[in-house]
Structure 1
Amino acid sequence: MTIDESGVLVVGGGVIGLTSAIALAESGRRVRLISRDAVGGTTSAVAGGLCWPYRVQPYARAVRWSVRSYEVLAALAERPAETGARMVTGTMTAEVADGTAGLDADDGLTAWYEAVPALRRARPDELPEGCESGWRARTPLVDMPAHLRYLERRFAAAGGVVERRPVTSLAEAGREAGTVVNCSGLGARDLVPDPGVYPVQGQLVIVENPGVEEWFVSAAPGAAETTYVLPQPYGVVLGGTACEHAWSREPDPAVAVAIVARCARRFPALARARVLAHRVGLRPARSEVRLAAERLPGGALCVHNYGHGGAGVTVAWGCADDVVRLIAEADAA
């Protein structure tokens, strides 16, 4: 196979791979994206879609990436039917082990709180019983299946090409293009290989919407059980779990019952809502996001962009900007 020295090969077809590919294609690069799965089969398609930093490190960079993505998604929310992004008001709380609210602690997100327009402290009457503090904000909430289809259309409009096939090694990819962008998510565990990548299993339940208009999240850092209610056009997404190193993609009926019960404590009508679907996704976690460039054995440049945990859609556009920058710096060196 002849190497395309000036082309870019993006490995991975989830939200991280698609946004990276779009940013590169729209900057004038010739880009091919390779993914074994169609967008509907990626982890991104199962994501709840709330723009908020969650289970992603290092926070200093993650907040910068999140603010950039907020700006992009807020603009896309002006065309919700086309892009799948909407601006929705909601409440964020954090419960800690003793039952008190944990948002007053130094959680590393100060810059995020300062950057989100109109974010404010929740009033006592806006909080669930037993919770002492929280945030009220209007943030992007993304219908991920619709958004991923939009990203595919946008990539194609920029001249990008999608190929459905597996990639067995980065060295193989480096023999096809002068630059490789590794957005393989959990697949990086074997592809790089990087044993530091591991799954954080998330189970959710989708129910008919009984009239819920706002999102609600209560998630203590590191907790295996969370509570989130995300109204989407196709129903309400109820969650959830965050089970580290759990590989099963099969929904657990007992866990589903517990999820609905937790969410119904905030919105009682959810207890009677008809269940539409059960879903399980595996978040691609790592001690911190790997976003850095290196040379592959054959000389091709490889920019790694993986390990985003539960914040893929939240940091995607900020990370894509850094991918473009790293490649430009390598070209100029």
Structure 2
Amino acid sequence: MKTLRVAVIGAGVVGFSTAVCIAEALPLCSVTLVADKFSPDTTSDGAAGILFAAEFPDISLERQKHWFRDSFDHLMAIACSPSAPEAGVMLSSGWQIFKEVPANKRPFWSDYVIGFRTMTDSELKRFPDHRFGQAFTTIKCECSSYLPWLEKRFRTAGGRVEQRTVASLQELGSSFDLIVNCSGLGSKTLVGDAQVYPVRGQVLKVEAPWLQHFIRDGDGKTYIYPGMHSVTVGGTRQEGDWRLQVDQGDTESILERCGRLEPSLSKAKVLGEWVGLRPSRRNPRVERETVLLRGRQVPVVHNYGHGGWGVTLAWGTALDALGLVKQCLHDMPLQAKL
């Protein structure tokens, strides 16, 4: 049987997760990952990569739970393995705090993280501006290590990597039998999805090895995430903002807000500043369609639009996308498979 040629577009955490899932599960497929940017130049590289999630409005909660649980279980297995330091995956404990008591005190992902509980009054005394908090242990996945680790795993499974810009799916129509689109914000132009928009995020990396616990304000704009080699402090959530240059006003605001939550940050050395555009959408698009490319009907599986939850949901949506790829292969006419 002829090998089926599969292209995966995008080398961020969603693209590489999806490519690995397909290459490992379907050895009869020849999988090529195509992207214009690779680590350390992807949006994923700057992500804090801490696992918890927001709720998307139009996707069944059951499906969202699967995405979260599958991602958490996958990364937990790595965190508990000898690969943890090379893959950049570690356990992280801390607090999510709220100025007002949230309507939902137990988010859907609370059953999957470790030891989720409401903070005590004495714990909350540390944060006098906040009235409610949640304590739990989750996973931190640092993509600057994780993406090269995934690429190695992908190549081991027989995957190929190609660096080039894809301006249109038509360019791939004659070379591939099936296309998986994980192009994130690029889907706005690549497949003409007007629902995709950027949410600008700016963070700082600081040297503060004495900090052991994460702190996240429930509004999602202020956070402190200790990692393996530095502490990520942030941030911004600027919708529709395409600026990629560092904004000095944002830097000062981040240091001031994070300093209120953790006064010792005034002693931390700033190691670097980073800006990225989260590929946001009302709901992630994980579905399949058939597109006419160069006179051929080519199945296309989409997996993009995760916003700030790419690392959190990447493996779960990759497994979903793998299921869609299997459906496409099953539905292909026999002559395409021979």
| TM-score, L = length of structure 1 | 0.91
Task: List alignment gaps of at least 5 residues for structure 1.
Answer: none
CA distance in 2, matches of 1:203, 1:55: 23
CA distance in 2, matches of 1:94, 1:155: 40
Candidates 23, 26, 29, aligned match of 1:25: 23
* 1:133 is the counterpart of 2:132: yes
> Residue in 1 aligned with 2:322?
324
Provide, for residues 299-327 of structure 1, a one-character-per-residue CA deviation record: whole Å limited to 9, x for no partner.
11100111000000100010011111111
Q: 1:310 to 1:252 in 2, by over 3 A?
A: same
Structural RMSD (CA): 1.7
Superposed counterparts of 1:181-330, under 5 Å: 181-220=180-219, 226-297=221-292, 298-330=296-328
Q: 1:243 to 1:185 in 2, by over 3 A?
A: same
CA distance in 2, matches of 1:203, 1:54: 19
Task: Tell whether the 8 Å contact from 1:185 to 1:284 is kept in structure 2 after alignment.
Answer: yes
Q: Which amino acid aligns with 2:32?
A: R
Q: Tell me the SS of whatever aligns to 1:156.
A: helix
> Residue in 2 aligned with 1:62?
64
> Residue in 2 aligned with 1:89?
93
> Residue in 1 aligned with 2:77?
75
Query: What count of residue pairs does the alignment treat as equivalent?
Result: 319
CA distance in 2, matches of 1:238, 1:56: 25
Q: CA deviation at 1:5?
A: 7.0
* 1:101 is the counterpart of 2:117: no
| TM-score, L = length of structure 2 | 0.90
Provide, for residues 262-303 of structure 1, a one-character-per-residue CA deviation record: whole Å limited to 9, x for no partner.
111121110221111111110000111111000111211100
> Residue in 1 aligned with 2:39?
39
Task: Tell whether the 8 Å contact from 1:55 to 1:311 is kept in structure 2 after alignment.
Answer: no
Q: CA deviation at 1:59?
A: 6.7
Q: Tell me the SS of whatever aligns to 1:62.
A: helix
Q: CA deviation at 1:46?
A: 0.9
> Residue in 2 aligned with 1:6?
4
Task: Tell whether the 8 Å contact from 1:5 to 1:178 is kept in structure 2 after alignment.
Answer: no
CA distance in 2, matches of 1:175, 1:262: 52
Q: Tell me the SS of whatever aligns to 2:114.
A: coil
CA distance in 1, matches of 2:19, 2:56: 21
Q: Percent identity, aligned pairs only?
A: 35
CA distance in 1, matches of 2:54, 2:162: 31
